[in-house]
Amino acid sequence: MSTVAVAMERFPDRVAVAVFLAAFVGDVFSKSSIPEEDLTLGKALIRAGSYFVDDLATETPFSQKGYGSVKKVYIMCDEDLLVTIDQVPAVAGLAANFLMDEVLKMQEELFL
């Protein structure tokens, strides 16, 4: 759960649009398919690096009224070092499935 998502959930009236730049976006509304014991172990091994540590520990699942009401834009990068070019269509499909309002592709020459 990212701090951006927490801010969207808690203050949807103060977030005009959330931009996910070449990010992995998870399903925040469905129950996880991860086995409970793996989830418990994962939570135990996490090192908190957020200003919202206490909020993240007690946060309930995201709602349509909060997180769901904020416009979300996903930006893919041409020269992404994590996602290869052949994976881009799959990532775009995933981003669209996670209720993104827009999926954009940024070209490398914009940075030059």
Contact in structure between 83 and 91 (CB atoms under 8 Å):
yes
Q: Is the predicted pLDDT of residue 17 greater than 90, yes or no?
A: yes
Question: CATH code at 17?
Answer: 3.40.50.1820
**pLDDT tens, residue by residue, 79-111:** 666 666 666 666 666 666 667 788 787 776 555
Q: 69-105 in b/e burial notation, b at 16+ Cβ within 10 A? A: ebebebbbbeebeeeeeeeeeebbebbeebebeebee
User: Could you tell me where the DSSP H helices lie in 13-109?
Assistant: 36-45, 53-58, 88-97
* Structural domains in the chain (count): 1
Is pLDDT at 42 greater than 60 in this prediction?
yes
> What ranges make up the beta strands (E) of the chain?
17-21, 71-77, 102-106
Residue 52 belongs to domain spanning? 3-111
pLDDT tens profile 19-31: 877 665 555 545 5
